[in-house]
Amino acid sequence: MNQIVQAWRHVFKLDPDRPIDDQTLEAVCSSGTDAIMVGGSSGVTYDNTNSLLGQIRKFQIPCVLEVSALEAIVPGFDLFLIPMVLNSSDPQWLIGNQAQAAEMYGEMIPWDTLVPEGYIVLNPDSTVAMRTEANTSLTDSEAAAYAQIADRMFQLPIVYVEYSGTFGDMELVSAVGRRLEHSRLFYGGGIVDGETARLAASACDTIVVGNIIYSDLNKALETVAVIKNSSIQI
Q: From the CB of 160, what's the least distance to ligand 1GP, in Å?
A: 8
Q: Does 162 bind ligand 1GP (CB under 6 A)?
A: yes
Known binding residue 41? Answer is yes
Contact predicate 131/41, CB 8 Å: yes
- Which of 79, 82, 185, 191 touches ligand 1GP (CB under 6 A)? 191
**Any idea how long the chain is?**
234
Query: Which residue's Cβ has the minimum distance to ligand 1GP?
Result: 188
- Which of 48, 183, 211, 223 touches ligand 1GP (CB under 6 A)? 211
Question: Residues binding ligand 1GP: what is the number (CB under 6 A)?
Answer: 12
Known binding residue 30? Answer is no
- Which of 62, 118, 157, 188 touches ligand 1GP (CB under 6 A)? 188
- Which of 209, 221, 224, 234 touches ligand 1GP (CB under 6 A)? 209
Q: Which is nearer to ligand 1GP, 108 or 234 (CB)?
A: 234
* Alpha-carbon span 144 to 221, nearest angstrom: 31
- Contacts of range 112-115, beta carbons closer than 8 Å, 24 or more positions apart: 112/1, 113/1, 113/77, 113/78, 113/79, 113/80, 114/79, 114/80, 114/82, 115/1, 115/2, 115/5, 115/64, 115/79, 115/80, 115/81, 115/82, 115/157, 115/158
* Alpha-carbon span 114 to 65, nearest angstrom: 10
- Contacts of range 173-176, beta carbons closer than 8 Å, 24 or more positions apart: 173/200, 173/203, 173/204, 174/203, 175/140, 175/141, 175/143, 175/144, 176/120, 176/140, 176/143, 176/144, 176/147
- Which of 16, 83, 177, 189 touches ligand 1GP (CB under 6 A)? 189
Q: Does 176 bind ligand 1GP (CB under 6 A)?
A: no
Known binding residue 174? Answer is no
Q: Which is nearer to ligand 1GP, 151 or 162 (CB)?
A: 162
Backbone angles phi, psi at 119, to 5 degrees: -85, 140
Known binding residue 190? Answer is yes
Q: From the CB of 220, what's the least distance to ligand 1GP, in Å?
A: 9
- Which of 190, 222, 224, 227 touches ligand 1GP (CB under 6 A)? 190
Q: How far apart are the first and last CA of the chain?
A: 20
Which residues carry a binding-site annotation for sn-glycerol 1-phosphate?
13, 160-165, 190, 210-211
Which residues carry a binding-site annotation for Mg(2+)?
15, 41
Give the residues lining the site for ligand 1GP (CB under 6 A).
13, 162, 164-165, 188-191, 208-211
